[in-house]
Every structure is written in C-alpha cells, then in structure tokens.
Amino acid sequence: TLVGGTAMGGNAGTGGNGGRGGSGNGGNIHQLGGNLRLEHTILDDGVLQAGFGSEGQPGGTIAFPDISSPGVQSDGYNLVNFRGPTTGWVASDLPNGTEPLLGPLDFYGGTVEGFLPLDGSPARNGGAPGTCSATEDQNGIPRPQQAACDVGALEFRGDNVFADGFE
C-alpha cells in the first residue's frame, strides 16, 4: 500500500545497445502480480529510455504509463497522469491525463526533498474532505492544513514561506 506518496520521472528501463532496444513497463511502478493499493498518491512523468541502435544512433525517450500493474486497488484520491491499461480506479481518483502541476524537487522547509503542489494544482485539497489516512506529510506537517488533504507526499501550508523552494 502506498499512501500519500509522489513518484515523478520514473524510468521504465534502458533499451539495449546494438540491435533492437530493450523493453520496459510502467515508468514509475511496474508490478508483475497481485494487487497494488494506492491512496492520496501522485504518479507522473514515467518514461522508457531507449538505448543505442545497431548503427550507434542514440535512442529516444518514450512516454510510458506511470503504472503497469495487473490490478490496482484504489483507496481513492489518486492522481496518476498516464494510467495505461490498468484497472481498479474509483470515482474519487482524479481523471486520467490530469497534470499534477508540482514544483521542482526541493526541501520546501523540511528535511526530505519532495514535489510541492503549485498554485492551481489539482493535488491541493484534492484528497478526502476533512480526514486523511496519513496524519502528517513526509516532513511532519499535520494534514489537512486546509479543507482537505493534499494528494501526494507534501502538504501545502497556506503560510508556506518555502513554496518557491528558497529559504
């Protein structure tokens, strides 16, 4: 179970060199069996890095689903930008193709780097109204700070002086 997490820029694998490139599945999460439970989680920017072809030409970057799993058990309020063929999503999950609008990887006043929801991000207050399964974000900030929990690893504080990543 992944609760209140954020995975950005996952690499599905590196294609082979010489001949055809390799393959990969699920840019941020690839699960071969069983069910994966997600709640208040963001997955975005999964890619497959292709290797070099037989003539030494560099490969490209291919957009890949952010998740590849035979079954997802959503406990709600997830933002997965590119779901691919996975099933198990529920009505409270944000629609497939929703951009999370997150700031760059930074500390934002805490001790662990993360991606903070920017102004206008659907992740802000995008969680369950008034209640959160994770009572703190990854930096110990109590949840919720406003009407609802933020989706992802960091909770935006209305007085967050570190919102731009500078201290």
Q: In this structure, how many other beta carbons lie within 10 angstroms of the beta carbon of residue 16?
A: 15
Place of tokens 């952010």: 66
pLDDT at 99: 94
3-state secondary structure of 68: strand
d(CA 159, CA 14): 42
pLDDT at 26: 55
pLDDT at 69: 74
**Tens digits of pLDDT across the chain (167 residues):** 577 777 776 544 443 333 333 445 556 777 777 778 889 999 888 765 555 444 555 555 556 777 777 678 899 999 998 887 788 889 999 999 999 999 999 998 889 999 999 999 999 999 988 788 889 999 999 999 998 999 999 999 876 555 454 55
User: What is the DSSP annotation of 20-37?
Assistant: S------SSEE--SS-EE
Strand segments (E) across 56-166 = 61-63, 67-68, 72-74, 79-80
Beta bridge partners of residue 44, listed in sequence order:
8
pLDDT at 1: 57
Tokens found for residue 3: 């609760």
